Structure 1
Amino acid sequence: MKRKTNHPDCLHNYRRKKIYRIMKLLSVFLFCGSMVISAAGYAQNKRVTIQESTISIQELFEQIENSADCRFAYSNSQLNPQQIVSVNVKDSDVEEVLKQVLDKNLTYKVIENYYVIVDKTQSDVVAQVQQHVVEGKVTDHMGEPLPGVNVYEQENPTSGVITGIDGSFSISVSSENASLTFSFVGFESQVVNVAGRTNFNITMVEEATGLDEVVVVAYGTQKKVNVTGSVSAVTSDKIEERPVQNVSQALQGIVPGLNVTSSGGGELNNPLKINIRGAGTIGDGSNSGPLILIDGMEGDMNSLNPQDIESISVLKDAASSAIYGSRAPFGVILITTKRGKEGRMQINYNNNFRWSDPLLKPNMLDSYTFAKYWNDARANAGQNPAFTDEVLERILAYQKGEIDYGTVANTNGDRWQQYTGSHANTDWFEEHYKSWTPSQEHALSMNGGSEKIQYYLSTNYLNQNGLLRHANDSFDRFTVTANVTAKLADFASIRYNTKFIRETYEKATHQFGLFYHNIARRWPTNPVYDPNGFYADGGEILQLREGGRNISEKDQNYQQFRLDIEPIKGWKLIGELNYRTDTYFSSSNYLPAYAHDVAGNPYAVGVGWLSPGSTQASEYASKTTYMSPNLYTQFTKEFEGGHNLTALAGFQSEENKTRNLGGYRNDLISPDLPTINTASGEDKITSGGYGHWATAGFFGRINYNYQEKYLVELNARYDGTSRFLREERWNLFPSLSVGWNIARENFWQPLEDKINTFKLRASWGELGNQNTNNWYPFYTTMPVGTANGSWMINGMRPNTASSPGLVSSLLTWETVRSWNIGLDAGMFDNRLTLVFDYFQRFTEDMVGPAPELPATLGTSVPKINNADMKSYGFELELSWRDKIGQVSYGVRGILADDQQEVTCYPNENGRVDMWYAGRMGGEIWGYTTHGIAKSDDEMNNWLANHDQSVMGSNWAAGDIMYEDLNNDGEINSGSGVLGDTGDYSIIGNNTPRYKFSIDLDAAWKGIDFRMLWQGVGKRDYALGGPYFWGANGNMWQAAGFKEHMDYFRPEGHELGANVDGYYPRPIMSWESNKNTKTQTRYLQNAAYIRLKNIQVGYTIPQTFTKKYGVQKLRFYVSGENLLTFTDMTKIFDPETIDGGWSDGKIYPLSKTISAGCSITF
């Protein structure tokens, strides 16, 4: 049942999910309690039995609501909820109860299932003036009915009604020329002239609140108009109903300054990399990821059910995150999950059925073109053809369908030929990747409660299937969440949150980095099947299907308790206890995979790194426990004259413990039971240990504002960590931010109708970074090896120990200082909003390379804090929301940029192959290309004045001509130090610049539409390896794609002349290195724009769904990654070039089409 919330002079009854629609029934008496509610029909068959001699009005109404499916609205000025009454009814209707308890001056009106208590005298007044009846319906911009809208006559405010559940209303006005006012919280009020009409359809427009919304910040919330730091907020509608596997994917492109990259491509268990405002450190062992807090506790947001998320706040500058101290030097992501709301139970079910296809697959050459390409590359290297004329004839015959088998027996007649002896025509990317793989996700939630207790319960199941045809990879996630809030007393409440998450990832053991490298190296002449119908050797299929499985299972258990006490108004005491356990278990087995010879007899092939026929079972387990108690207090006071003060102080500690153990055995007794216990090999322990770290901190914050015009915020945290020596363990991290809302000044009044908000912000802060990979950097440790001695004792290798490395007693925090200036503006009633930030961040005392000491030291030199770096950039966000007729629409664009510059680094010689002071992050050093020689004469003439002997020899037509930048007649990189780099120079930068997105949405009569474009405006990239260069170098480390055929070929070439080809002539030997140097000609433009998401939905009108007890029913279709525009060569995806085995050897991202529905009861 929906329960009421009493406030002085008004009662808010029904709260809707959407923030602006938080009530179905508004305050009845808006104007000093005098507004009258007219009656609407309601069934009189609700029966109740109540026998109470002493019961308060409030308790009585609650009992009736729980048993009769109705609700009450009244004003405290008319009816005291604590008034004691006596009731004795049995199987009576509600009206009978009201007759017993209501004062003689009170009566009631019935609107749908609402009983609205009104004064009899006011009811009579209304009756006297009712003359002209007007009817109609009120809806929002999506055509959804709006219940609880106040409709009243402007000239006679006491003549008013409230719209029903279906948004309908009927009101009697004093004359045909009356004016009606429609008002509703979160919507702009409208005034309509009746002008003799009797029927109206009213569409209400949401208030463009813009910068006036409330956002979550550290340890609380603030009105965005009062925020002085750099904070971006994301609401749940931006991430719900997207066909993505995790929250990180949904955040890409919607928060300025939040960078989300995929290091593992589209692999199902791929951890996305996230940073805020770019890389923050290059310190040895450090990382620059943000602190991620879920309801105040550190956690993995990618494991969350996206449907459980209420909002996400991204704290980007030091002023916003300083209160979290050493755990948040590079920003914070605050995730707030949904909680129960007072009212009757709401049940929501969401589903999503999706179909995924590889976003990009290289186009392999057909086998005949491939063979001719290979022969040409070998000829350029002075070698014999790889494919004989006889094989070439077989290849053509196979392609024409004259023969239906892809290979023949070898000269010995026992094995099938592969590579240079087979003649199939296989596209291995098409063979290994499936098309439109189905997956599904389901979510169910319940929320509701009374004034005393509210609850939110949910469960979610995701089944995501991979793209690999023969590996059958899959990812399953199951989550259960319960959030309960209970009011213990008027001054105290308790909150309990719990989550259980299980993630299961299964794949072929052979599915690891080398596999993606191997796909391109499998020649198209190799067949999928041998002539006997068995899977053929030489294509990775056998290893994937038969070579064993890897199954990993991760359980996460969150337990969170919170107690709020407010002894006096404005003073709160909060205690929190957060506890989380992460349990991980992984089992892998390598099983024998068998190809078949000509006679059909099996023979073993190698799987992974093991030799053919070898077997192995391995297991790894770990458990991590995390506990964090927080105690803090907050005081808020509004003083006379517009002075507002909020003070916060508290203590937090963290303790993290982890244990792990891993091992394996070879030689399985039975492949049907692949466990360590069923293997007969020697025990091998691969890992095992215990780790522990802890932090403690005292923190405080003071917020002051004067009339929301002048804003000041001070933060400080005194933090300690276990990762440093006692003398270096504690540090103070302060921050200061100020704001000036100029639009609140008197002199701004001439502009206020055009520019409603104009706020300047500035902040400074200092933080420390203790996020090192080494938890004990100050301990002297002695490396120990198990059975790894190079000698034998009693027939066995002994364990060994080597000299411990030295540690520095001065090793301490990295210090992160940042500045931020910003502007928040809202124009034209906040329909147009602008947010701009410029920042500088200085990371000092990074851990760099150890100083050079004589080799006689006998051990490693300790690393010290000796490097500094500077980051800087900007963020711009522009939004426009408006309505044209019945179409509401929005446009939002973001643009962000960040750069990093090393300002101090121990590189005395100035070597350019390492960091040095003044080096920009992402610098690409290379040679400047003059062009490709179109003839031997042109090449010889070039060499006469440009000695390229350092680069290689045997120069000829089709080879690269390099520019002589220093005009010394030789092409080289000098000594490779600053000031002497010869013809080697900075030719580009691979840092993604000008990251942008465009978010469009529109709605009309229940139809909603959204389109999100995301991209990078500027980026250079130097690609390499076989995916880019094709048939160069070792023939077993080469590839053949259609793009590779655009290479130099002289006149008269059997494949056709191509003197203006993109690539140099292919050379199947290491001599090709002379042409494949990093150089300007092959520097890629990695900028791109991608249609990240497009979605169309339709919400069924409530007038239809309410007949079946459905509050909301929405259907939608969605697409992810459907279009990409880039100048980069089509072999590569600009989003994944950094990951995998580098240079495109990676599990591809998916383009996804999905459909689903959301239904609320």
Structure 2
Amino acid sequence: MNVYYFRNKRLKVAFIFSMVFFLTSFANIFAQDRMISGKVIGEDDQLPLPGVNVTIQGTSTGTITDFDGKFSLVIEEGNTLVFSFIGMKSKTVTVKSQSTLNITLESEVEILEEVVKIGYGEQKKKEISGAVAHIKSENLEQFTTSDLGDALQGQVAGVSVTSASGAPGESAVIQIRGVSTLSEVEGANQPLYVVDGIPQNEDPRLAPNEIATIDILKDLASCAVYGTRGANGVILITTKTGNKGKLKVSVDGNYGLRKIITNTPVMNSSQQAYFDIIHQRALNPGISDDEINMLVSRSKNNFKNDNNLDDIVFEDLAPTQQYNINLTGGSDAGFTYNITGGYFGQKGNVVNSNFERLNFRGGSSYKSDKWTITTSLALSTEERQRPSGNLLNQTIRYKPYMAPLDPDKNIYESASDQEAVQANFLYQSLYFDDNETRDRLSGNISIKYDFTKWLSFTTNAGGNIMNRFRTRLNPYFRVVNENTGREFSNPNNSYYSEQVERTAGFSWDGRFYAKHSFGDHNVSALLGASLEEYNGISHTVQRRGIVDNDKPGFGSATLETTVTPGFNYVYRIIGTIGRLQYDYKGKYLVSLSGNYNGNSKFAENNKFKFFPSASVGWNISDEAFFEGLKPTMNAMKLRASHGNVGGQSFRPYSDLPTIRRGFDYSFNGNIYSGAAQSAFANPDIQWETSIQNNIGLDLAFWDNRLTFNADVYHTTKQDMLFPIATPASAGSSAGNNNDKLVTLNVGNMVNQGFELALGYKGRVKKLNWNVTGTFASNNNEITNMRTEDFVYTADQGLIYGAPNQSRVTTYARGYEAGAFFLYKSDGIINTEEKLAEYQRVNPAARMGDLMLRDTNGDGQITEADKQYAGSGLPKYEAGLVISLRYKNWDFMMNWFGAFGHEIMNGSKLMAYSEGRHLDQIHTWSPDNPYSPIPAYRGDLKQGTTNFRGDTDLWLEDGSYLRLKNVTLGYTVPKSKLKRAGINSIRIYVRAQNPLTFTNYTGYDPEVGGNGVSSRGLDKGNYPIAALYSTGFRFNF
């Protein structure tokens, strides 16, 4: 890690924060603060309302009413106060010269009047006919996390969030309404992110403290205006904006400790000695004395060493800290600003894993009678250290009686060749050094001009640049067998590498918007155009033969240097956007939209396509015949939509063949450098097309105290894009894996399911509560394959660590994408009759071996005998959020569960394969013939298939229920803060992921991955830790 560089960047950002704070404070030094007080009552019963939130609009500065409904707050003249309370309509009041306010809050009977973001605009919730979810910043700020996805999990039905890893800085995988493509391109199944109107070419990795609201477009009719980019759903992020008035400051901090609370049970030294020596003699009566002596020699340290590598690999309590500052203010002339800065630091629970991020965002806006101009500039810098991806598996392999590794030495004396090999692999994994720096700069400007009250024009322009620099050191290490003097070292495998990556994106759109009413008929129209350009380049330089681990760099290596190209692309997307909306008295809703899209990644004849959509809605509760039901059911709306959206999840230039140099040839006795086609292309690539039908129902009861939302959808994916590996005999390159792939339209797929959301808000005297539950079901099926019935990915779907690296997932007609296809186990050979029968299939079988089912009855075990065994895609997901407020106390609890899927337990597979798992003490033996655990043949007798990776022996139920978050907070009474000049102080304690209920025996049941074929594969994944923390928030 370039520590000096990182510290300098931190100082630069700190300097920027200091200057911004100084300038904004100076600009407002002459403004006058004053105290305003008042009382809030309810309209229905005219009783005081305790616990009402009173905030200055656009800021987090505020207070809450006391037991008598009274409040006081330091404000500036011209500030707008927002009064909000569960079950009541929010109310805004602009403070002028008055010193007291008496506020009456109405029952929240008009909850559907809430305005939410839609594609290229906004709309009242009551008028929306698609499936759109709205999330406020307070729902995100309840989590201590560096990743937005982690805070979203379980909060929106139909939005699946899975952590690919618990490593610091890791981003979760977000999918909306299931798998949308088979492509293994990174991020191919993730939704489109739109930040302040600007589409992003990847996850923007925003800090949660930068975000004001999130709106999620789930149905394709709502996404159609984004054309090809909206096939996976759209997440619209609005960052925080300013509010006129004197500078207001909010500061919050959090410090906590993370702890991994599960592990893989392995043997201690004495158990391992028994298993390795005594048990091996019993299993192998023909074993020679020399072989036994070798085992004894290898285990001479049995009674001296009892190493627990968890003490070396795992950090028991790893600190996490987060600090944020927000400054906001503005003038009466229409100018406002908002500045946000933050720091997040996390030390990993696994050695050599850390993450730090500094983020800064500044925004301003200007509004006059005709013009509205908003700007935003953001920068972030991240430093991340990753452990070796194979570290946990190598830890399992290391026997506890072996001498411990000395981190200050690069030589190790072993008792056997086998111990030497294991020590070598473990050392490389344990001291593997992988550091990454990622800098990101983004900005945008939006200009709106109102020609008339009904016609306006808006244009947005923005872009982002990301620079990534990654270094990796695989260290040099020597192991010597102290009995034979044989040396094991890795000079050829040791290396130092540097990877450089740069990506950039630019987006522009311009659109006219018109809205007019003709009596009871309301019509709005949008017409515009958009342009996006994305480019990127990367390469890796590597040199082998490290001679000095303490001085990483190309100068510390002596062998060959290789340069590996990564990606180098430029592609553009253009579109014509149109939307027409109509409603009659707000009862009958119609929306028609479309995008005529062009994409440069496609060949000449397939670059453009039109994607239309339509939706309708009926507010039944506005009908005259519904009046009698309104005292109980105050709102009822039916929605239906049909959407048609394209997809483009494949690598640029897949329509062009690859030409590579290096194919030299001889002519007339001389060698000439040449080039040749190294990979094939498909000039006939067509658009993936997603067609979705959605029907929804929205209900509200008892003045919106109880709300219910339901959606049912059916999505058909046609002409799916998929990279097929071509054999070398066809002329593909033997070097770059991507050169072996040709992208084809391979078939069709269906996602169908339903989503439910139920919410209840209540109040009894001084106790207020809010309960929200979500439930979603999605069924995925590949309905047609135009190539083979079974298609494997080029480099995914493998389970590692077994004697053979086995492919366990596939894409097959009639099954889920990435479904498990495995050999069915038929128990253990524990009788002579079973042995004789199974030896017809496998002549090498012995007593205690695992029997595999010959499903096709051909008398042999082949790939054709593999059977469908389940999927790593959950069939059901559920979330529950409970929040309570009593006087100055607040409490919140989040639960999340995923059900109906399977996990391949790779850690268990590795432990069994190496004879390390604690359960193997009870493995099959002549003295224990009815054990369900196959015999372990050990290092000396290979050839058994007992622990191969592609059997259902390692398949487990992946269902789980997790307590995601529980927080208890206390807000200090305002009366105790007057002298300190502080508006409010809140302190809290929090626990994240403290409880998980599951039958899965691996580290963690939340097993994800960027590729569909790697979902449900636990390859020794970095486990998710529990976090126990405390924090504060001050408002000035």
Q: TM-score, normalised by structure 1?
A: 0.73
Equivalent of 2:598 in 703, 711, 720: 720
**Number of residue pairs aligned between Structure 1 and Structure 2:** 940
Name the counterpart of 2:1032. 1157
Show the 5 A alignment for 1:120-159.
139-140=50-51
- The one-character-per-residue Cα deviations of 1:101-128 (angstroms, maximum 9, x if unpaired) are xxxxxxxxxx8489xxxxxxxxxxxxxx
- The answer on whether the counterparts of 1:626 and 1:657 sit within 8 Å (CA) in structure 2 is yes
The one of 520, 538, 543 equivalent to 2:396 is 520
Of 213, 224, 235, the match for 1:333:
235
Q: 1:435 to 1:974 in 2, by over 3 A?
A: closer
Report the CA distance between 1:963 and its aligned residue. Answer: 6.5
Matched, 1:844 2:844: no
Q: CA deviation at 1:298?
A: 3.3
Is the Cα contact below 8 Å between 2:904 and 2:1016 reproduced in 1?
A: no
| Larger Rg computed on CA atoms | 1
Q: 1:985 to 1:865 in 2, by over 3 A?
A: closer
Q: C-alpha separation between the residues in 2 aligned to 1:1096 and 1:387?
A: 65
1:983-1037: per-residue Cα shift (whole Å, max 9, x none)? x5434333211111121111111111111111112113344x56237444xxxxx
Query: What's the secondary structure of 1:802's corresponding residue?
Result: strand
Matched residue, 1:12:
none
Runs of 5+ in structure 2 lacking a partner? Answer: 1-26, 39-45, 75-81, 90-101, 414-421, 734-739, 793-808
Structure 1 segment 1008-1087 matched on structure 2, within 5 A? 1008-1023=890-905, 1025=906, 1027-1028=908-909, 1030-1032=911-913, 1038-1050=914-926, 1053=927, 1057=928, 1060-1068=930-938, 1069-1073=941-945, 1083-1087=955-959
Contact 2:51 2:65 in 1 (8 A): no
Query: Sequence identity, in percent?
Result: 25
- The structure-2 alpha-carbon separation of the partners of 1:491 and 1:187, relative to structure 1 and needing over 3 Å to count, comes to farther
CA distance in 1, matches of 2:203, 2:696: 28
Give me the whole-angstrom Cα distance separating, in 2, the residues matched to 1:1143 and 1:690: 32
Change (3 A) 1:1062 1:202: farther
2:182 to 282, 295, 314: 282
Match of 1:231 in 2: 132
Distance change in 2, residues 1:465/1:285 (3 Å): closer
Structure-2 separation of matches of 1:881 and 1:485: 35
Structure 2 SS opposite 1:918? coil
The alpha-carbon deviation at position 585 of structure 1 amounts to 1.6
> 1:486 and 1:143 mapped to 2: Cα distance?
25
**1:363–1:1131 contact (8 Å) kept in structure 2:** no
Q: Residue 7 of structure 2 corresponds to which residue in structure 1?
A: none
**Which of 475, 483, 491 does residue 370 from structure 2 map onto?**
491
1:502 to 2:381 alignment? yes
Aligned equivalent of 2:534, options 647, 656, 673 = 656
TM-superposed CA distance for 1:655, in Å, is 0.9
For 1:270, the equivalent position in structure 2 comes to 170
Matches within 5 A, 1:587-598: 587-593=471-477
- Measured on the aligned residues, the alpha-carbon RMSD in Å equals 4.3
Q: 1:1120 aligns with which of 967, 988, 992?
A: 992
Amino acid aligned to 2:374: R
Match of 1:801 among 670, 675, 681: 675
Distance 1:668 1:381, change over 3 A: closer
CA distance in 2, matches of 1:672, 1:150: 61
C-alpha distance after superposition, 1:546-565 (max 9, x if no partner): 95743221111111111111
TM (normalized to structure 2)? 0.81
Q: Which has the higher contact order (CA 8 A, sep 6+)?
A: 2
Aligned partner (choices 714, 738, 752) of residue 630 of structure 2: 752
Residues 1101, 378 of structure 1: alpha-carbon distance in 2 compared, 3 angstrom cutoff: farther
Is 1:820 aligned to residue 694 of structure 2? Answer: yes
Tell me by how many angstroms 1:1107 deviates: 3.0
Deviations 1:1027-1081 (A, max 9, x none): 237444xxxxx1412234343345xx4xxx4x55342333334443157685666
Query: Structure 1 residue 139: deviation in Å?
Result: 2.9
Is the Cα–Cα contact under 8 Å of residues 147 and 162 in structure 1 kept in the other structure? Answer: no
Cα distance per residue 1:256-285 (max 9 Å; x no partner): 11122233x212243432211111122575
Deviations 1:815-870 (A, max 9, x none): 11111111111112111111111111111112357799997899989654241111
* Helix, strand or coil at the partner of 1:518: helix
1:247 maps onto 2:148 in alignment: yes
Q: Distance in 2 between matches of 1:850 and 1:447?
A: 53
One-letter code aligned to 1:513: G
Distance 1:680 1:526, change over 3 A: closer
User: 1 CA distance for matches of 2:52 and 2:355?
Assistant: 39
1:939 counterpart = 2:808: no
Q: Which residue of structure 1 lines up, in the alignment, with residue 340 of structure 2?
A: 458
Q: Does 1:576 align with 2:479?
A: no
Aligned to 2:845: 954
Shift of 1:536: 5.2
Q: Match of 2:996, as an amino acid? A: T
The letter of the residue matching 2:982 is V
Would the aligned equivalents of 2:615 and 2:642 in 1 still touch at CA under 8 Å?
yes
Question: 2-side partners of 1:791 and 1:378: how far apart?
Answer: 61
Task: Say if 2:903 and 2:1018, in contact at 8 Å, map to a contact too.
Answer: no
Cα shift at 1:361: 1.9
Structure-1 residue corresponding to 2:652: 775
Q: Structure 1 CA distance, aligned partners of 2:286 and 2:557? A: 48
Please give the secondary structure, in 2, of the residue aligned with 1:311: strand
Per the alignment, do residues 1152 and 682 of structure 1 end up closer, same or farther by CA in structure 2, a change over 3 Å counting?
same
Q: Which residue of 2 aligns with 1:342?
A: 244
Equivalent-residue separation in structure 2 for 1:1048 and 1:546 (angstroms): 33
Counterpart residue type for residue 875 of structure 2: R
2:769 to 889, 896, 909: 889
Residue of structure 2 in register with 1:61 after alignment: none
Matched, 1:1148 2:1028: no
Task: Work out the CA distance in 1 between the residues paired with 2:159 and 2:290.
Answer: 52
1:927/1:389 CA distance change after superposition, 3 Å:
closer
Pair 1:919–1:671, CA change in 2 (3 A): closer
Query: Judging changes above 3 Å, is the alpha-carbon distance between structure 1 residues 1009 and 150 closer, same or farther for their aligned structure 2 residues?
Result: closer
Residue 905 (structure 1) aligns with: 785
Task: Choose from 376, 380, 383 the match for 2:283.
Answer: 380
Q: Per-residue deviation at 1:350?
A: 0.9
Matches within 5 A, 1:59-138: 67=30, 69=32, 112=36
Structure 1 residues 864 and 439, CA, compared in 2 at 3 Å: closer, same or farther? Answer: closer
Which residue pairs with 1:434 in the alignment?
315
Q: Would you say the 8 A contact 1:754–1:827 is kept in 2?
A: yes
Determine if contact 1:362/1:1130 at 8 Å carries over to the other structure.
yes
Structure 1 residues 1027, 1080: CA separation in 2 closer, same or farther (over 3 Å shift)? closer
- Paired with 2:308 and 2:370, the residues of 1 have a C-alpha distance of 70
Q: CA deviation at 1:596?
A: 9.2
Aligned to 1:1105: 977
Greater mean deviation of Cα atoms: 1135-1144 or 1096-1105 = 1135-1144
Residues 1:1139 and 1:1102: Cα distance change in structure 2 (over 3 Å): farther
Instruction: Report the CA distance shift for 1:922/1:670 in structure 2 as closer, same or farther (over 3 A).
Output: closer
Report the 3-state secondary structure (helix = DSSP H, G, I; strand = E; otherwise coil) of the residue aligned with 2:977: helix
Q: For the residues of structure 2 that align with 1:861 and 1:389, how far apart are their CA atoms?
A: 50
Return 5+ residue gaps in structure 1 as ranges: 1-63, 72-110, 115-134, 152-160, 168-182, 191-200, 394-409, 411-416, 1033-1037
Aligned-partner Cα distance in 2 for 1:660–1:465: 28
Whether the 8 Å CA contact 1:144–1:1102 is kept in 2: the answer is no
**Counterpart Cα distance in 2 of 1:857 and 1:505:** 40
Question: Aligned in 2, Cα 1:518/1:533: closer, same or farther, shift over 3 Å?
Answer: closer
TM-superposed deviation, 1:328: 1.5
Equivalent residue for 2:508, pick from 629, 637, 643: 629
2:262 maps to 1:355? no
Is the partner of 2:306 in helix, strand or coil? coil
For residues 682 and 189 of structure 2, the distance between their equivalents in structure 1, rounded to whole angstroms, comes to: 23
1:663-691 Cα shifts (integer Å, max 9, x gaps):
23456787655333676655432226631
